Structure formats: structure tokens, C-alpha cells
Structure 1
Amino acid sequence: MKKEEIFEYVQKQYGTIPEYLWSKSPDSAVLRHKNGKWYAVIMTVEKSKLGLEGKESVDIMDVKCDPDMTNLVIQTHGFLPGYHMNKQHWITILLDGSVSKAKILDFLDMSYDLIGGAGRKENK
């Protein structure tokens, strides 16, 4: 799934438009929940910075993830610990075709819900 498709989806689904915050990374965009918090960051990074083989760049998306799921998810091909984020609460999804569009959108929706407060566990 290409980042342009993600931007189209979040515009229709949540009314979100990408924000480009960093002059040194003009291709990197933040997606904000209506409450102002980030629910996704889309970046282009060198594979080696992600612990992958190669010097070429790859598009990635960081999304918030339920901490109970994070360790399991990052063992799946195409998913990594959150790049430049809290690795307990964020995961990185490769946007290189290794993860299906349906899965990408599921994780994007989950991140949006987690940021919005839905899905928070009650204290036991």
C-alpha cells in the first residue's frame, strides 16, 4: 500500500490530512487524531536504520499498538518495533508490499481508536 492511498483513506475515514513537520524530512508526515494526538507517522527511511539489509530507502508507517500485542506483532514479517517511538506502544509497518492493505488499514484504525481512548483497559 502506498502512502498516498493511506492519506486518501484517512481523509475519507477520519477527515485527517497529513502534516509535514520536519524540514529535514519533507516526505515525513504525521496523522493527528481530532484530539490533537498523533495516531500515525509516515516516513521514508534507509533500510539499515531499521535493522534490515540494504542501503535503499523504504516507506514505513508507525502506529500505536496495544502493548499486549506488540511483541507478537513484531514477530510477523513486515512489522518492526516502532522506529523513533516508544517500542512498547508503537510498531512500524513496512509499506513495501510485505503487509496486505487490509492489515495496514486494520492497524491504522486500531491506532486511531487507541489514541481516541477507545480500547483502553479498565484497571483491575
Structure 2
Amino acid sequence: MTRKELFDYLLNTYDISPEFMWKKHPKYAVFRHPENKKWFALVMNVDPLKVGINNSPDNEIEVLDVKIDPEKVSILQKAASFKPAYHMNKEHWISIILDQFTLEKIIPLIADSFQLTK
């Protein structure tokens, strides 16, 4: 999945556009509820080492952080393309390596995150 595919999906499904909140990290995109302003998704470009990937040929990878049920965190982290959440609470959030999944595989996790942060 690409960043554009994800952003288009979030706009079309939830009518939410990304917010770029940090000058230091201009590509970091936050998606949050319009009512309560809680984040339900965060897209970042990070050094692969920061999410525990030691053999990446890339200098940066794109990750999507979503909030999920804590019971699912430990299960999902056993899969190669799910990592402990970068820059978020690792008990409740998970990082997903974007280019390792299709949008269809990620939609349920986004929906869960949206509901958990409502």
C-alpha cells in the first residue's frame, strides 16, 4: 500500500485529511477524530532500525501506527511486517510497514483504531 492510497481511503471513508504537525518531521501525518481530536492513525517515514528492521536496503520506510486491542498486539507483532509501535504506547499501538500490505488487509485495523479512539 502506498501513502497516497491510505490517505485517499481515509478521506473517502472518514472524511478526514492528514495533519502535518511538525516542522522537524514534515512527512509525519496525523489522522484524528474531528469531534474529540484523538489520534487514530499516524503515518511516519522512519529509519528501519527504529522499528527493529536491521536488514533493510532503504534509508527510510513508511509505517502506519494504529491503536488496537492489547490482546491483538502480541499476536500481530509475531508477524514480520508488524512492529512494536514507534513513538506510541507499545501496549496499545502497533506499527505496520506500509509497503508490505494491501489496503484491504489494513482496513479492519484502521476501523478498529477509529472505534477504540472514538
How do 1:32-43 and structure 2 match up within 5 A?
A: 32-34=32-34, 35-43=36-44
Task: Indicate whether 1:91 and 2:91 are aligned.
Answer: no
Residue type at the aligned position of 1:92: S
65, 80, 84: which one pairs with 2:68?
65
- Structure-1 residue corresponding to 2:9: 9
Residue type at the aligned position of 1:104: I
Query: Greater relative contact order (Cα 8 A, min sep 6): structure 1 or 2?
Result: 2
Task: Indicate whether 1:24 and 2:27 are aligned.
Answer: no
For 2:79 and 2:101, how far apart are their aligned partners in 1? 9
Q: Which runs of 4+ in 1 moved over 4 A?
A: none
- Structure-1 residue corresponding to 2:79: 76
User: 1:4-59, CA deviations, whole angstroms, 9 ceiling, x for partnerless residues?
Assistant: 11111111111101000010110110000122100000000011111112461000
Displacement of 1:99: 2.3
TM-score normalised by length of structure 1 = 0.88
> Max radius of gyration: which structure?
1
Q: CA RMSD in A?
A: 1.1
For 1:4 and 1:101, how far apart are their aligned partners in 2? 11
Residue type at the aligned position of 1:18: P
Identity of aligned residues (%): 38
Displacement of 1:101: 2.0
Aligned residues: 115
For 1:110 and 1:3, how far apart are their aligned partners in 2? 19
Displacement of 1:68: 1.2
Q: Aligned with 1:59: secondary structure? A: strand
Stretches of structure 2 lacking an aligned partner (at least 5 in a row): none
